Amino acid sequence: MGSVSLKIGDGTARFKKATLCSSAVNILMIFSVITTNLFALYAFTASPKHHPNHLLPHIHKNISLISEQVSLILREIDSSQKKLAQMEKELLGYDNVDLSRPNIATELKLYLQHHQLPLGKDSRTGITEMVASVGHSCEKSADLLSQYMNYKISQPCPDDWSLAQKLILRGCEPLPRRRCFAKSVSKVGLHPFPISLWKPVSNKTVNWSGLGCKTFECLNSKNGGIRIGLDIGGGSGSFAARMADRNVTVITNTLNLDAPFSEFIAARGLFPLFLSLDHRFPFYDNVFDLVHATSTLDVGGKPEKLEFLMFDIDRILRAGGLFWLDNFYYANDEKKKALTRIIERFGYKKLKWVVGEKADSVGSGKSEVLSAVFQKPIRV
């Protein structure tokens, strides 16, 4: 599904798209303006002495006719513009999202704000600001989307997975990220891999809210609970390869920055996920046993962007799962403190915390790095 960036200035998000039809309308308008100006110039500059007095009424009548024709042309142009705009909306499948409407949630407005890059234009990608993404078709379900984004910050998320699924089925994806804690289900009784492939899953390890059946027996299905993880900014997939040797399946999130990483990862027999960190992760809640991240977690040095990302990581990580922050570069203690303040808000148990030095990527010296492992708590 495509996504679109929204620019907020006067409270309205606009989609900008040049079309051949709009260019034709502009040419028609210019031609009409030139033609009518020539008529008006002729009518008003013609010398009265060349016309007998009995012709003056005819001249005034001609001027009136010209004015009527000009008004008619302008009305036709305005009508054509409206029709073309409507046709363009129907062809594209989306309309403008008016964020000034009273029923739009404040969190949705905040999520869609643009954030300028701290160092200006990026030399590799050419972008100057970081923007959030939301599906084109979300505009058609603006009320449901606003309901989805109506929650209390840093509080338990509403039990509204069915609402999220309804939006997805209507083509509203990716969904925006949220700053609330996803409902956790205790994953007790899970079997180790590969035993988990053939053992039944306990009814207490999944969320049955909103479903007719409350047991796997009711569904007449026995599902296996394999051990899986997500590597954020995994580069060439080396972490996923090491974990595969330990019978752990890891999905590697990466982009092709200066190298064809996605194809390289697939060639190694691993699973690449081609997705920027501005997108909501396309996974269900509480499904990963492990989330691994490196310095790519920095997301441009913007605390608010990191906060949205951390809430999304917390959403997909199961209760008792591990969040592994590996070799995270930080320029100063303030940056490290900002990161730890955000992580501490989630109440994670600190299993490992190591600060050391590592040569930077350009080889100009050493930088301090942080490696830590946290465990997600069980929230009631």
Output Rg (C-alpha) for the chain, integer angstroms: 30
Question: Distance (Å, rounded) from C-alpha 61 to C-alpha 83?
Answer: 33
272-287 pLDDT, tens digit each: 999 888 889 999 999 9
CATH 3.40.50.150 domain span(s) along the chain: 224-376
139-154 pLDDT, tens digit each: 788 888 889 999 999 9
pLDDT at 46 over 60: no
**Regarding predicted confidence, which is higher, 285 or 365?**
285
- The pLDDT, as a whole number, for residue 9 is 41
Give percent of the chain above pLDDT 90: 16
- The pLDDT, as a whole number, for residue 179 is 92
pTM as predicted: 0.55
CATH (one of 3.30.930.10, 3.40.640.10, 3.40.50.880, 3.40.50.150) for 224-376? 3.40.50.150
pLDDT at 346 over 60: yes
pLDDT at 208 over 90: no
pLDDT at 19 over 70: no
DSSP code string of 126-176: ---EE---EEGGGGGGHHHHHHHT---TTSBPPS-HHHHHHHHHTT--SPP
Q: What is the rounded average pLDDT of the residues 264-278? A: 88
Name which of 33-37, 233-237, 315-319 the model is least confident about: 33-37
- The pLDDT, as a whole number, for residue 268 is 87
Contact 263, 200 (CB under 8 A): no
Contact 303, 272 (CB under 8 A): no
pLDDT at 223 over 60: no
